[in-house]
Chains A and B, each alone.
Chain A
Amino acid sequence: MESFSLILAIVVVTALAFDFTNGFHDTANAMATTISTGALKPKVAVAMSAVLNLVGAFLSVEVANTISKGLVDESGIRPEVIFAALVGAILWNLLTWLVGLPSSSSHALMGGLIGATIASAGAGAVHGDVLVTKVLIPAIAAPLVAGMAAMLATRLSYRLGAKRAEGKAAEKGFRVGQIASAGLVSLAHGTNDAQKTMGIITLALVAGGAVSPDSDPPVWVILSAGLAIALGTYLGGWRIIRTMGKGLTDLQPQQGFAAQTSAATVILASSHLGFSLSTTHSVSGSVMGAGLGRKGGVVRWSTATRMFVAWGLTLPAAALVGAIAEWVTGFGDWGTALVAVFLVTSSAAIWVVSRREVIDHTNVNHVEGETSQNAEPAGIVTTAIAAVTPPPVGTVADDLTATIPSPAEVTAKPSATAL
């Protein structure tokens, strides 16, 4: 019984750690464009997003219930399985953060859960149809829907506003509008993603026999999950913010407004109409759509392609790690301890590697593309990026080795010009 509650405690702590990575991974969704267009100062933006995330966490438990009641068969799950799932999800989140690519935290979580469940109870315990309808199709639909909406809205906005919406009032207006819709995205993110952790913790509590099946998350779970995601959001995943705000395309406030409005609408419409779409995918899609919507606007497809590859790898990679972690925990307590040590050391290692090139609120808007404002053709930037970062192929290991060297080389340029 003692070891039983110990493993539960480990799961809860790991789940909160995942929530934290979720927060800083996904700050970019709400705030990247707000920061890159200069509508809000970086620190102010992440603070606002953190507060709204926290508020959002308290608003509903709908999503938490989908996680804890829908995807996998509750009866066959032990706390160790959930622990293994979280290990997979956290490591993938940290890895994508390191290379600065936005990817869906929910896919990482589901991937980890699926991998660990298969390793533990066999493929039969995963509801395959739920996987397709709730994960795969939304992943393809989200960027398309959000991107098209943002592109059309941007076109319309530039057409309506041509020569008539210019000057100080217009610029200020679009910034205010962008802040409002970014706030809405943050709020929706809080209700969605903080709840995923609540769902996981509840699932662990159910699996450990601490609460009865089909129950709603306890209050302390809601509170700690909300705080963890808000803290992560406030610390800000600046690497991903930079990719999303500056790496994919160059946005003006007017486009930023269209992008953020599209993302907010898609997220709300989809969760309300019962076809939940990933926040990350929606926002990435709408940013690209807004980029394409302006005349002369460009999308850096090489960055976009790396992002798409990361999306495709998210679920299988997290599943693989989750499955291996579950296999190791199967050896008993020392196996679980080994996995915990592995998680902590690899997280630390990723952090150490990230310190080679620090990206924070001071340099979040400086990118390789910075010097090439709108006039310069995208070809130069694209080839520059392509030159330093061969597109990741196949496995996770390749992805890591192929992309880590690039940031160091890239910063060499701006610092040289600064001197």
Chain B
Amino acid sequence: MKIDWAALGSVFGVSLVITVVMVGVFTLGIVGLSRRERAVAQGESAGLAVTGAYACFAACAAVVAYGIYLIVA
């Protein structure tokens, strides 16, 4: 009997890193949107925050797309 520790280890590492990075990036995106919400409420603009937010969401969408690709392939 041979247990594939390498595969298990890589599942562990990959899952940990991807989850933390994904959630982190998405949270940053949310922070950007919240900043816009506050800025709009005070009549200011928050162009940089919004651009950053959409960049974050785009990155997340790309990872999700890759996930779907993995399911299909």
**Which positions in A face B, CB cutoff 8 Å?**
56, 59-60, 128-129, 132-133, 137, 141, 145-146, 148-150, 152-154, 156-157, 160-161, 164-170, 173-174, 177, 180-181, 184, 187-188, 191, 254, 257-258, 261-262, 264-266, 268-275, 277
28 contacts between A and B (CB under 8 A): A128-B1, A129-B2, A141-B8, A146-B15, A154-B23, A156-B24, A161-B31, A165-B27, A165-B31, A167-B37, A173-B33, A174-B30, A177-B60, A184-B67, A184-B68, A187-B68, A254-B27, A257-B23, A261-B23, A261-B26, A262-B19, A265-B15, A265-B19, A265-B22, A273-B11, A275-B4, A275-B7, A275-B11
* Residues A268 and B1 in contact, CB atoms below 8 Å apart: no
Q: Which residues of A contact B34 (CB under 8 A)?
A: 164-167, 169-170
**Interface residue count for B (Cβ, 8 Å)?**
38
Specify which chain B residues have a CB less than 8 angstroms from the CB of A272 in the assembled complex.
Answer: 70
CB pair B22–A169 under 8 Å, yes or no, is: no
Determine chain B's interface SS by DSSP, over half rule: helix
**Within 8 Å CB of A167, what residues of B?**
34, 37-38
Other A-B pairs beyond A258-B19, A265-B15, 12, CB < 8 Å: A132-B1, A133-B4, A149-B15, A149-B19, A167-B38, A169-B33, A173-B30, A184-B64, A188-B71, A266-B19, A268-B67, A275-B11
List the B side residues contacting A157 at CB < 8 Å. Answer: 23-24, 26-27
Which chain B residues numbered 23 to 51 have a C-beta less than 8 Å away from chain A? 23-24, 26-31, 33-38
Question: B8 to chain A: closest CB distance in Å?
Answer: 5
Do the beta carbons of A149 and B20 come within 8 Å of each other? yes
The contact of A153 among B8, B10, B20, B36, by CB within 8 Å, is B20
What residues of chain B lie closer than 8 Å to A254, measured between beta carbons?
Answer: 27
With both chains docked as a complex, state the minimum distance between the C-beta of A333 and any C-beta of chain B, in angstroms. Answer: 39
Chain B nearest CB from A299 CB (Å) reads 18
Q: Which chain A positions have C-beta within 8 A of B2?
A: 129, 133
Q: How far is the CA of A157 from the CA of B19 in the complex (A)?
A: 11
Residue on A nearest B17 in the bound complex, by CB: A149
A169 CA to B8 CA in the complex, in Å?
A: 38
In Å, the complex CA distance between A128 and B27 comes to 45
* B12 contacts A153, C-beta separation under 8 Å: no
> Out of A145, A187, A258, which one reaches B12, CB within 8 Å?
A145
Residues of A within 8 A of B60 (CB): 177
| B26 pairs with A257, CB closer than 8 A | yes
A-side binding surface: helix, strand, loop or mixed?
helix
Interchain CB contact under 8 A, B35 and A153: no
| Complex CA–CA separation, A274 to B4 (angstroms) | 10
Q: How far is the CA of A60 from the CA of B19 in the complex (A)?
A: 25
- Chain B residues lying within 8 Å of A153, measured Cβ to Cβ, are 19-20, 22-24
How far, in angstroms, from A160 to B15 measured CA to CA in the complex?
Answer: 20
Q: Which of B4, B28, B71 contacts A191 (CB 8 A)?
A: B71
Indicate if the CB atoms of A150 and B19 lie closer than 8 Å.
yes
Residue ID in chain A nearest B22 by CB atoms: A261
Chain B residues in 8 Å Cβ range of A128: 1
- Residue in contact with A160 in the complex, picked from B3, B28, B72, CB distance below 8 Å: B28
- Cβ distance A25 to chain B, nearest Cβ, rounded Å: 21
Q: How far is the CB of A35 from chain B (nearest CB, A)?
A: 20
B3 to A133, Cβ gap below 8 A? yes
In the assembled complex, the Cα of A231 lies from the Cα of B10 at a distance in Å of: 35
Assess whether B31 is in contact with A277, with CB atoms less than 8 Å apart: no
The interface residues of chain B lying within 8 Å CB-to-CB of A265 are: 14-15, 18-19, 22, 67
A residues near B8, Cβ cutoff 8 Å: 137, 141, 275
Report A156 CB to chain B, min CB distance, Å: 5
Q: How far apart are the CA atoms of A152 and B21 in the complex, in Å?
A: 10
A49 to chain B, nearest CB (A): 15
Cα-based distance from A261 to B19 in the complex (angstroms): 6
- For B14, give its contact among A184, A187, A258, A269 (CB under 8 Å): A269
State in angstroms the CA–CA spacing of A166 and B29 once bound together: 12
Question: Given that A149-B20, A168-B37, A261-B23 are contacting pairs, would A277 and B11 also be in contact in the complex, using a CB cutoff of 8 Å?
Answer: yes
Complex CA–CA separation, A241 to B27 (angstroms): 26
CB neighbours of B26 from chain A (8 A): 157, 173, 177, 257, 261
On chain A, the residues within 8 Å of B20 by CB distance are 149, 152-153, 156
Of A173, A188, A258, A271, which is in contact with the most chain B CB atoms at under 10 Å from its CB? A173
Q: Do residues B1 and A133 form an inter-chain contact, with CB atoms below 8 A?
A: yes
- Kindly state the separation between the CA atoms of A128 and B3 in the bound complex, as whole angstroms: 12
CA distance A355 to B24 in the complex (A): 44
B15's partner among A59, A166, A187, A262 (CB-CB below 8 A) is A262
Give the chain A neighbours of B7 by CB distance below 8 A. Answer: 273-275
